[in-house]
Amino acid sequence: MLVPMKIDYGVRILVHLASLEPDTIVKATEISKKRHIPEKFLFQISNELIEKKFIKSLRGPNGGYSLAKNPSEISIADIMEGLDKSRSLVSCLYNSDICVISGHCSQQDMWSDVEQTLISKLQTITIKDLADKDRTIIDAAKLEN
């Protein structure tokens, strides 16, 4: 399964914000550099994250982004749903017009079951979980240096 970069970048943005003190405002350039997200894409994705009420923005010279929700309330499944409506593993699951045998195919149920299993797992993983793990990895790397 290939996760769209839009979702990967969205998760990176949210994890970065969650790894900071609550209500910290961070400039887009900092997120872009630290999380290796091209600024052009960061701005596009952040607009969608704002629209979905995952983050908020503050304009002006001291502006930037901060989380709009508690990171423990944002699951990876929420982000996928918010940023990519077609999260299905195969296109026939969300658009039966694409496949002429849709509804008469043994594979369709199998893919649907796999998708439901994946979504169920992603609903259990939160941005807080990833931010906590991120801090642990960074702390371990500091000890090694």
Q: How far is the C-alpha of 89 from the C-alpha of 72, rounded, in Å?
A: 26
Give the pLDDT confidence of 74-102 residue by residue, as tens digits: 999 999 989 986 656 665 655 555 566 66
Which residue would you say has higher pLDDT here, 90 or 118?
Answer: 118
Give the pLDDT confidence of 10-60 residue by residue, as tens digits: 999 999 999 999 889 999 999 999 999 999 999 999 999 999 999 999 998
- Asked if the model's pLDDT at residue 126 lies above 60, the reply is yes
Q: Residue 32 CB: number of other CB atoms within 10 A?
A: 20
- Structural domain count, the chain: 1
Query: Residue 62 is part of a domain; what is its CATH number?
Result: 1.10.10.10
Query: How does residue 108 score in pLDDT terms, banded at 50, 70 and 90?
Result: confident
pTM of the entire structure? 0.84
CB 15 within 8 A of CB 134: yes
Range of the domain at 36: 5-144
